Structure 1
Amino acid sequence: MERSGIELITLADVQAAAGRIRRRAVRTPLLSCPWAEGRLWLKPENLQPIGAFKIRGAVNAVRALPARRKAAGVVTHSSGNHGQALAFAARSEEVPCVVVVPEGAPKVKLDGMRRLGAEIVPVPPARRSEAADDIALRRGMVLVPPFDDREVIAGQGTVGLEVVEDLGGVDTVVVPVGGGGLASGTATAVKGLRPDVRVVGVEPELAAETAEGLGEGRLVSWSPERTGRTVADGVRVGPSELTFAHMKERLDGIVTVAEEEIVHAMGVIAREARVVAEPSGALAAAAHLAGRVRGEAVVAVVSGGNVDPVLLRRALDEG
C-alpha cells in the first residue's frame, strides 16, 4: 500500500520478521494491572536481553541482510537502546558494529553498548545521522537506522502481533512515539489482524513533533535543543517521512504527557507492577494513568527499562 509515493510495510512483512527474530528476542508477557483504573495490561519490553523493544527491529534488519553485505558490518546512530540492540544483533551474527551516539547520552546505555562489543563514536546531537552516513560510506558498512528502515519497522511490529495473539479482548494498544518505528510497526500488525482495535501513540509535551505533524497533516521537525528538554531521552528524535506516513495512515490518534506525569508513571509501575521503565518506556502507562487514553481493555507498551539509577530513585520518591 502506498501513500504519497511511500510504500508502507504490510502484515506479511511483520509476520516474516517474527520468524527471523524467534530465539533472539523474548516473547514478552502481558501483565494485568488490577491496581489501575479500568482494565490495563503492561507489555514489558524491558525484559528483552538489552532491556528494550529495539532488539526486535535490529535483529530482523541484520538477519534479513545478504551474507556478503552483513559481513562488512553494521553502523547506526542512537541515544542508546537501538545502539545496544544493533550491537546485540551484530554480536549474534559475528559481524562488526559501530554506534554513533549524541554527546551526553546516558552512561547506562553507553556501558551496555560497549559490553556488547560496539565501537562508540560520540558527536554533537545534530550530527549523529550525518556521522553515521559518513562511517557507512568510508568503511563500507551497512547503515541500520533506528527507525527509518522497513525491516526495522517490521521487526518492531512483532510487539503488535503478540498483543493481539495474547489478549483476544484487547480494544486499545498504547505505544510511545519518538522516531515512530514501534508505533508504525505495531499499528501495522494490530490493524492487519484486528482493524477494530485502536492504536494510540504517546509523546512528551516537550518533544511532540508527531502530534504537531499529524495535526497539521505534514511532517514537522523540532530542533535537538527543543526536544532535549524532555527527560525521555529515547524519544528526542522525531519521525522520518517513512514512519510519519505509517502513523498518519494507521494510528487512531496521538496524545501528549507532561514531564511530571512521566516520572510519576515510572514510580507507579515500579512499585505496583514491579516493572522498571526508563522515561520513554513509561510514556504509554503515563497516558493511561493521566486519563488521556481510555478503553475497555488497554495494553500499554513499556518500551524499555534502561533507566539511570538516580532518576529511578527520584521516580520512586515522587511517584
Structure 2
Amino acid sequence: MSTTMKENFLRLMRNDNPKWLGDPWDCFNENKFFRPALFDGGTISWNPATPGAKGHVDAWGVLWDWPFDQPGATPHVTNENAVVKDITQWDKYLNFPDLNKIDWTGFDQQAAHLDRENKLVMVANFTGMFEFSHVIMPFNEALCNYLEEPEAMFEMLSAYTDWKIKAVAMSIEHSKPDMIHFHDDWGTKKSLFLSPEIWRKAIKPHYERLYGFVKSKGVLIQHHSDCYNEPLARDMVDLGIDMWQGAIPQNNIKKMIEETEGKLCVMGGMDMQLIDLPDAPEQVIRNEVRRAIDEYVPLGSFIPCVANVFPIHKNVEEIINDELRTYGAEYAAKHF
C-alpha cells in the first residue's frame, strides 16, 4: 500500500525513516487564501482585514490597512487610535470579542468535506502574544511597557490567553485539525525584539498554558515565526512546539537542530530576501532551494519550505515549488 502525503509529512517531521521530500504544502488540505492552513471560526474571530482594505476596524478595535499591492495587512496604530491607551488600566479599554456569536455553519460544512485520510488538516490561528501586544498599542509603547510595566502587561496577556484558549477549543471541536498553525514573530532577521530573559518572563508562561492545552487535545503545533529566534530554540521544545515554521538562514539552523536533539522540527531554510524578487533569475532561485536541501536535510528534523509560507511573487512561487518537488524527489531517491 502506498504511503499517503499525510504520512509522508509526519515521517519527515518526526525524522521517522522518511521516503519522500518535496513541497510540504502538497501534504495539506489547501486553502485558496493561505495555502496549507484552513480558516475557520476561530481564525476569523478577529474580523480580520481583507485585500484592499483601508481603515478596517477589527473585532478588537484595531485599525488595519491592506493595499492590493502588499502581501498582507498592516496595523495602523497611533497614540490617538490605540485600543489600550494606558496599560495600567488595560481592563477598562480591552473588550474581548464574543466567541459565542460566531456562526460555524459554513466552517462545519468545510470540515465535513476535507480529505482527512490522505492529507493533513491544519487550521490557522493568528496574532500570538507578542503580536497582540503591539497591535493594541503602538509598537514602541509595547516594548517600553514590557520593561516599565511588566505586571500589567503580564495580566493583560494572561487574559488574552484565556480568550485564545477558548477560541482554539472551538476550532478543535468543530474543525478537528491534525495541527494548528500559530503565528507570533518574536524578532527581526538579526535579533529578538525582547531579550531572552524578558521573553521568558513576559511571553513564555502564556504559551505554556496555550500550547499545554493544545497538546492535551492531541493536536500538533506548528509555530510560525519567520525571524531570528535562535536563542529560543530550546524554549520552543519546552513549550511542546512540534514544528518551528519560518526558520530563516540568519539563524544557525545546524546548531539549533543539534541543540534540540531532534525534538523540534525546523521548517524553512531558504533566504527569501535573495530570491523573492520579480526579476530573480530562475537558476538563482533553484540553486537556493537546492542549497537549503543539501545543507539542512542531512541533519534530520528539517523540512525545506518558504519561511513566510508562500512567496510574494507568483513566478518565484512556481519555480520554488517545482524545484522542491523535482530536486526533492532526486534527493529522497539517493539518500532516504
Q: TM-score, structure 1 length as denominator?
A: 0.33
Higher radius of gyration, 1 or 2: 2
- Structure showing the higher strand proportion among its residues: 1
RCO comparison, higher one (Cα < 8 Å, 6+): 1
Q: TM-score, structure 2 length as denominator?
A: 0.32
